[in-house]
Structure 1
């Protein structure tokens, strides 16, 4: 791994999450990381989807009391924002090159080095899930587990490439217009919460729409450009030995890709949860559906909710603490056949 060009940390208090935001100069430019929790606890890294940051992508999950108690009790959270996606970010200078997906993964490694972290748990959504999966394939010894939400693992199909190209052009010439926001909301959420002419859109969609207004279109354009030239990770997925838990909304545009990814992972170490009536952004739309699968998943590392164990973990996670019988999908509470988190009952 190459040496970083240097690092600078500027702390900004975030009342909403109670953490601090650090600005770190990596070998591929600056990146913002919001840190929440006890630094002595094991590390959980998060990485959001295109045009989102930790507030707009993970607020629902961390504001869900049961999920928050599980995650915050066991981890110190490191929320990584894609370059230029953090609160108050300035437009990235136009002469700066667009980062490749490999460089984005290298930035994650630089974040670990900056905080002195060894091995970490990772939680990513769609484009962020791709970056963290790529990071796991390039730095295998530094990833203990992957929790992926509506992940990407293949290079873009012609349809996705063209769709993203059109969005990129509109972003470049017209900025964060109403059309772009509608395209992004369609990417994130199911039709149920986006609303119709008769049914108003839900509060989470309204909140996300408002947060999208805060993004600089040039910075979103850059991240979209990076993801639109990503390459196929299929051949490297089988080599992953860290345990992987995948969530995907059945109404997600990337539902089939998540199913494909599951077939390429080692089934001894992976499990899939399909969330009914949900889009890509399960962390916001149905965060409660993630609780039980995550709880079983983390039990494999000896981690529990506070009500189950009184002690707070303070030693780094280690594969040696994983019980062999907890490595199977069945032990995670997930059958080999994907579970359905919500069943529609007809009366």
Structure 2
């Protein structure tokens, strides 16, 4: 684990308008070569590109052929206010021990940035993406983390340079161009609101603006005081007039090689109360479901990297492991399978990518037992266990699938006010080639525990929300108070006592159509011995 050095190597800020020619000598070469002996240095430099100057900050040292983590912030923020909370989090620092990090500030958005000269034309979003290759002259590839406008820029960069991007974490990404309704709304809001209010509405929902006053006040002051307002207006204007990314979901076996979409793994992240929820869901619908994961974070608004850095760091760790970088060394050996327990302090494992067999310390492993994971039980047995009277609605278990190899099944109990209507629903849990799990292809999880956590927070398509693992007679199950049964009125009409003959009487309590329906139902249940 390493600490951020307070002393920074800050080069003089070079201000460049569109009229300044591009220089072949790239300053980024300096701070890549300046890192010595694996030391975690922190340096800031200005990189000249064909479309202007980019302010970049380097953390750590490139590690061999491993990719560099490249970040890009949203409007109204810079790399510090957008990412410091996340990258200073303990779990994230454990990851960055193995990867260098390059933070990119959009032109004129860094702290103490001077204003642009009169008549300066700010780069378009496409041009901002075209500036990034100048930052990568000394690296082979990157794993990108972008928020909002930064997520859009990194996506455009990955579409233009697929071989340079190994993976993308896209927070609050919007793949669409601003529609005319959005444009009109922004114009109207501009008459009644200042720039700070518009940016705040971009980041936070209405509820968050009123409920989380401490966070809101902190970022309102930062946007108003730490970011040059003229420069911010130019960046906002560039994002407002962005083009549609024009990506579409490929059809397996039909247009996978020709369709315009991301070819790298992507993790889409959004808070459940963020203003960007609809945009992120739209982006997810356009990407390859076998390479895309949507993470909708509960109890989180427009800045998940600030409000929930621990959850995001854990998700990023699983994302990097899914790309083939091992948990302990993050070397590109793929995932490891346990082969056998050896006598002593070491255990043999095999890389699923290279086939290499190595020994790791047994104290690096721990046995994890989940009460909801069952082995060797059938579908019928799962129903029998879940229908136990001590199980409440939402009780569940996960078992090995009887019909599909290497798959699981989720069995869930749904209780109703009438006990005879209680039922157990079964859902197949499939596994992607990268080892991730899903019930619906639009939502994938790196492990079963994550899947259970998600559906415990929201039913999201299941018959009900998961509550507690299945009760097993004889085990120390934590029982919860069961609700008192409700008193219901017994039906006054017994269907089986109703004659199948039509009644012409006007005083009949049952209409002719309903009588025919009841008659047909009774006939079918008698002939086929169906359950009633």
Which TM class, normalised by the smaller chain length? 0.7 to 0.9
* 2:60 is aligned with 1:37: yes
Structure 2: gaps spanning 5 or more residues: 1-20, 32-39, 251-260, 334-351, 356-431, 439-444, 459-464, 468-480, 482-532
Shift of 1:286: 1.7
TM-score (norm 2): 0.54
2:67/2:140 contact within 8 Å kept: no
SS at match of 1:110: helix
Mark the CA change 1:236 to 1:4 in structure 2 (over 3 Å): closer, same or farther.
Answer: farther
Q: Is the 8 A contact 2:86 2:313 kept in 1?
A: no
Aligned counterpart, 1:209: 220
Q: Where does 1:322-341 land on structure 2 (aligned, <5 Å)?
A: 325-326=433-434, 328=436, 330=438, 332-333=446-447, 339=454
Alignment of 1:301 onto 2:323: yes
* Number of equivalenced pairs: 318
Distance 1:56 1:134, change over 3 A: same
Residue ranges of structure 1 left out of the alignment (5+ in a row): 171-177
Does the CA contact (< 8 Å) of 1:36 and 1:76 recur in 2? yes
Query: Which of the pair has more CA radius of gyration?
Result: 2
184-193 or 335-344: bigger deviation = 335-344
CA distance in 2, matches of 1:150, 1:227: 14
Match of 1:51 in 2: 76
Quote the residue 1:173 is aligned against: none
CA change 1:209–1:336 in 2 (3 A) is same
> 1:190 and 1:26 mapped to 2: Cα distance?
36
Residues 1:230 and 1:218: Cα distance change in structure 2 (over 3 Å): same
Q: More helix per residue: 1 or 2?
A: 1
| CA–CA separation in structure 1 for the residues paired with 2:155 and 2:122 | 20
Could you tell me how far apart the structure 1 residues matched to 2:45 and 2:246 are?
A: 34
Please state how far the C-alpha of 1:167 moved relative to its aligned partner: 6.4
Question: SS of the residue aligned with 2:131?
Answer: helix
- Counterpart CA distance in 2 for 1:85 and 1:237 is 34
Aligned positions of 1:1-347 closer than 5 A: 4-7=22-25, 9=27, 19-40=42-63, 42-70=67-95, 72-113=96-137, 116-165=138-187, 179-190=194-205, 194-196=209-211, 201-202=213-214, 204-212=215-223, 213-235=225-247, 238=250, 239-304=261-326, 308-309=327-328, 311=329, 313=331, 325-326=433-434, 328=436, 330=438, 332-333=446-447, 339=454
Structure 1 pair 218/7, CA: closer, same or farther in 2 (3 Å)? farther
Contact 2:112/2:228, CA 8 A, preserved across alignment? no
Q: How far 1:30 sits from its partner (Å)?
A: 0.6
- Give 1:313 shift: 4.6
Aligned to 1:80, the other structure's residue is in SS state: strand
CA contact (8 A) 1:272 1:339 kept: no
Distance 1:338 1:262 in 2: 21
1:236 Cα deviation from its structure 2 partner: 5.7
Tell me the distance in 1 between the aligned counterparts of 2:452 and 2:186: 32
Distance 1:150 1:338, change over 3 A: farther
